Amino acid sequence: MPDSDLINKYFIHLQLKMVLFCITLITLSASLFAGGKSEEYPFEPVSGNSHWSYTINLDELEEGKHNLVIRSVDEAGNIRLEGPYDFNVDPETDIPLVAVAHPKPGSRVGRMLPIIGTARDDDGISRVEVSINDGPWRPASGAEAWSAVLDAGALGDGPHSMAVKSIDLNGLESPVVTVPFIVDTSAPVGGVTDPVSGALISGKATFSGSLEDPNGIQTIEISRDGGKTWSNQRFSRDKETGTASFEVNLDSRDMEEGPVVWWFRGVDTQGSSSEVPFLFFVDNQGPEVSLELPIIGEEGADPVPGNVFLAGRASDLSGVVSLQILVGKNEPVDVVLTPGNPWWTWPLNLSGMKDKQVDVVFRAADGAGNISEQKVRIPLDMEADRPFLEINGIEALPEKVFPAGEAFLTGVFRDDDGIGAIIWKSGDVEGRLEGVERSWRLDLPDLPFGSTEIEITPEDRFGLKGETLELSFSLAPEEPVIILESISDNGADSSEIWEPGSIFSSSGGSLQGRVVSDAGKAVILSYILAGSEETSLPLKADTENPGELTFNISVKKGEDPGSRNFILRAADGYGGEAVLGSGFYIQGAADESGNIPDPRLGDEVVNLPLPFLREKDGAAILRPDQPLQGWTSGASTAGAKLVPESPLLRLRSSGSSFTIENLAPGLSEPVKVVLADGSESGSLLIITDFESPKWQIDGPE
């Protein structure tokens, strides 16, 4: 078999090996499951979601048949399986190979021996090493196409041998190839000197070389068919040295692609001859470039969103040295290639493009300088690339009133690129929620109370924004608080500090108080006197204290003496409410002897009005900052206490009045107010817990 046919067959075998291996590799890199038994190879997560990859180390798999199963799970837990995809693991295919083109086994060689050959491996060749007569291993020049020059004359005439091996990029060695040869120093020496052995030839080229012999060169011949036929080669002789120089012109466009070996034979004037080979590679065509994803059918590709994952192949006999992607008029982008692997991938970001389609050019160059291009037109669906927001309960949101500092929004974020962000703005307040993926919650604690309008915009991880949603809802201010401050008696020269159970003279007077609330004009205050209908009390803004409103309760002159229990109720228009129960006494006029009867005579010893009761159990509702107010019918409250004591409540006493304050959230057991003299109020339950339950969901697992 001619040497060129041998090398071509060798190259074809290697190329098939590389393609099959690389197809297996790209399948593995997108695998979730490998092997024939699920107990041995459980499902494992991949990198990414819509665009994903996964790599399996073939060294971990036993030789033989295996399969891949791909499983996907959506947000609702639905499962889809793809496969199985069968493949075979053959460790032998990973072993590098090496071949010697010259010398042939048993060849007679001259004083200088050119050694040439090829090596191939799916992972790429690191180096080739040569050993002469079982001596040390020494590196050759080159890798896939390699060569070495041996001073055979130093070995001495007679039989010798060489051993050759190749080592791939992972350090794996090929089987050793041994070639015996015979040294005959009487034969001419030389060969092609330019270009070097293993050169890549594309188009027109010139080979130049020389032969030397002490007896002088008689003829030079060339064989282009592996030694079957020979033709004379013209040469020129140096008059001083006798060196014969020659040149050979060729046009590779008239030749088949692949490795070629030409032989040169020199005969000296005494009839001794030697043959030397010259190996070169014909490479007239550029790399083969294909786009596998997205799939381009006869009718073109389906529209893709702005960010698309490209995958394809680029291969060439002499190796692909570069691959570039040109998108429209943008600068080309260099794609990183893996030696020995024709498959390539590239994430292409087209976010923000307004065109309905884009032209993408793939430009590849091989080792011979040949360039090939493939142009594809990809239709775009930019709307599909825009992130999308879904707001939970959006229909009821305009009627929603959030408690102060507790506004929040929840919903679903959808985008083909996965994780993104939410940008929001309300008046002068704005913010950004990062790391949003699928379900999200946006807390808005710093918004002012009142009717609120907010703009909320989704943004993908490449900065592309989706549709802005305009939402409205309300935030309640802090619940109002009612404070009674002082009483003014028409029969007294000055006002006094209010205490529950205060006494007005028959001259009448007024009770002064205030409502603390940021709701301003929205606050409505009503007044219910025991036995009377509910009436509204006018409120006046306190110019010196923003957020406070003042009011007066009038007590008319000459009213019937006795006790007056009342309820004040303040509503802020946002669902907030404060209720205060208390009472006072009105004296009667002096009798003929000047005595004024005590209006407290005959009243309950301990008075504790409960204006706000829980319907299901009658528990008194005690809110923070709005104590319950009580008083006695004249007895001192010094030494008064709650029986039993409760960690939720605190009793404060002053004169003949007392208040019960909220200390901690909860529901008390039945308690009484007991005075030092043993007098007591009725038993009552008091609830101090008004916080909504806090949810924490720990599953599903």
Whether the pLDDT of residue 30 is over 60: the answer is: no
Q: Are residues 483 and 589 part of one domain?
A: yes
In a domain, 17, yes or no: yes
Measured from the Cβ of residue 3, the count of other Cβ atoms closer than 10 Å reads 22
Give residue 35's pLDDT band: very low, low, confident or very high (50, 70, 90). Answer: very low
CA dihedral 555→558→559→563, nearest 10 degrees, is 80
Among 76-90, 285-299, 395-409, the least confident range: 76-90
Q: Give yes or no: residues 527 and 575 share one domain.
A: yes
Q: What is the pLDDT of residues 67-105, one digit of tens each?
A: 788 888 876 677 887 877 777 777 777 789 999 988 889
The verdict on residue 121 lying in a domain is no
Looking at per-residue pLDDT, the higher value among 438 and 692 belongs to 438
Four-point Cα dihedral 343, 344, 347, 349, nearest 10: -120
Q: Which segment of 281-285, 454-458, 522-526 scores lowest on mean pLDDT? A: 281-285
Three-class SS of 481-500: EEEEEEEEECCCCCCEECCC
Mean pLDDT of 31-44: 52
279 contacts 264 by C-beta, under 8 angstroms: no
- By the 10 Å C-beta count (0-12 exposed, 13-18 middle, 19+ buried), 451 is classed as exposed
- Tell me the whole-structure pTM to 2 decimals: 0.56
Q: Which domain holds residue 27?
A: 3-93
Domain shared by 665 and 689, yes or no: yes
- Same domain flag for 369 and 304: yes
| For residue 332, cis peptide bond before it (omega within 30 degrees of 0) | no
> Mind listing the pLDDT tens digit for each residue in 509-546?
999 999 999 998 999 999 999 888 999 999 999 988 88
How much is the average pLDDT of 342-347? 86
Query: 395 and 360 in one domain?
Result: no
Q: State the Cα–Cα distance between residues 116 and 103, nearest whole angstrom.
A: 8
Percent of the chain with pLDDT over 70: 91
3-state class (DSSP) for residue 389: strand
Q: What is the pLDDT of residue 421?
A: 95
Section 350-368 average pLDDT: 83
In this structure, are 589 and 494 located in the same domain?
Answer: yes
Whether the predicted pLDDT of 6 surpasses 50: no
Confirm whether 269 is domain-assigned. Answer: no
Q: Are 485 and 406 found together in one domain?
A: no
Do 631 and 646 fall into the same domain? yes
pLDDT given for residue 190 in this prediction: 79
Residues 340-359: what's their mean pLDDT? 80
Instruction: Check: CB of residue 109 under 8 Å from CB of residue 181.
Output: yes
Instruction: Tell me the C-alpha distance between 610 and 625, whole Å.
Output: 16
Phi, psi (deg, nearest 5) at residue 480: -65, 155
* pLDDT band (50, 70, 90) for residue 41: low
Query: In this predicted structure, what is the pLDDT of residue 26?
Result: 32
Give the residue from 383, 401, 421 where a domain finishes. Answer: 383
- Same domain for 592 and 508: yes
**Whether pLDDT at 14 is above 60:** no
- For 390, half-sphere exposure in the C-beta direction (CA atoms, 13 angstrom radius) is 9
Mean pLDDT of 421-448: 92
**Range with the lowest mean pLDDT among 274-283, 498-507, 658-667?**
274-283
Q: How far apart are CA 287 and CA 313, in angstroms?
A: 10
The domain boundary, picked from 93, 127, 149, lies at 93
What tokens appear for 217 in the block? 């060169």
Structural domains in the chain (count)? 5
Please check the confidence at residue 62 and state whether its pLDDT lies above 90.
no
Please indicate, yes or no, if residue 61 is contained in any of the structural domains: yes
Q: Is the pLDDT of residue 10 over 60?
A: no
Could you read off the pLDDT of 593-628 as tens digits, one per residue?
888 899 998 899 999 988 878 878 888 999 888 999
Supply the CATH number for residue 302's domain.
Answer: 2.60.40.10
Evaluate whether residue 129 is within a structural domain.
Answer: no
Evaluate whether residue 189 is within a structural domain: no
In the structure, what pLDDT confidence band is assigned to residue 34 with cuts at 50, 70 and 90? very low
Residue 10 has φ and ψ, to the nearest 5°, of -60, -45
- Evaluate if residue 412 carries a pLDDT over 80: yes
In angstroms, rounded to a whole number, what is the distance separating the alpha carbons of residues 294 and 50? 13
Establish if 152 belongs to a structural domain. no
233 within domain boundaries = no
> pLDDT, tens digit, for every residue of 293-313?
887 766 666 777 777 788 888
**Which residues, in sequence order, are CB contacts of 12 under 8 Å at separation 6+?**
none
Rounded average pLDDT over 266-287: 84
pLDDT given at position 700: 63
- Residues 537, 433 within the same domain: no
Q: Give yes or no for residue 652 having a pLDDT over 90.
A: yes
Nearest to 143 by CA among 318, 368, 323, 370: 318
| Residues 140-196: tens digit of each pLDDT | 988 887 888 888 888 988 999 999 999 998 888 999 999 999 887 776 777 888 988
Instruction: For 236-251, write each residue's pLDDT tens digit.
Output: 998 888 899 999 999 9
Which residues touch 122 (CB under 8 Å, ≥6 apart)? 17, 18, 21, 22, 93, 94, 340, 341
Pick the closest to residue 589 from 506, 509, 508 (CA basis). Answer: 506
| pLDDT bucket at 37, cuts 50 / 70 / 90 | very low
pLDDT, averaged across the chain? 85
Residues 489, 578, single domain; the answer is yes
HSE-CB of 594 using CA atoms within 13 angstroms: 0
Answer yes or no: is pLDDT of 348 > 50.
yes
pLDDT band at 40 (very low <50, low <70, confident <90, very high): low
Cα–Cα dist 513/458, whole Å? 49
Strand partners, 653: 658
pLDDT-derived band at 343 (thresholds 50, 70, 90) equals confident
| Domain endpoint, select from 39, 58, 93 | 93
Residue-level pLDDT at 27: 32
Pairing of strands 204-212, 189-194: antiparallel
Q: Are residues 335 and 314 in the same domain?
A: yes
Stated as kind and residue range, the H or E segment containing 247 is strand 244-251
Residue 236 is predicted with a pLDDT of: 92
Assess whether pLDDT exceeds 60 at residue 18: no
Average pLDDT of the segment spanning 2-14: 36
Predicted confidence at residue 122, as pLDDT, reads 75
Out of 61-75, 234-248, 402-416, 460-474, pick the least confident. 61-75
Give me the pLDDT at residue 440, please. 93
Q: Using one digit for the tens of pLDDT, what is the confidence trace for 107-128?
A: 888 777 888 888 888 777 889 9
With tokens 């110019």, the residue in question is: 543
Question: What pLDDT digit, counting tens, does each position of 202-214 carry?
Answer: 889 999 999 888 8
* Separation of alpha carbons 109 and 490, rounded Å: 139
Q: What is the pLDDT of residue 310?
A: 86
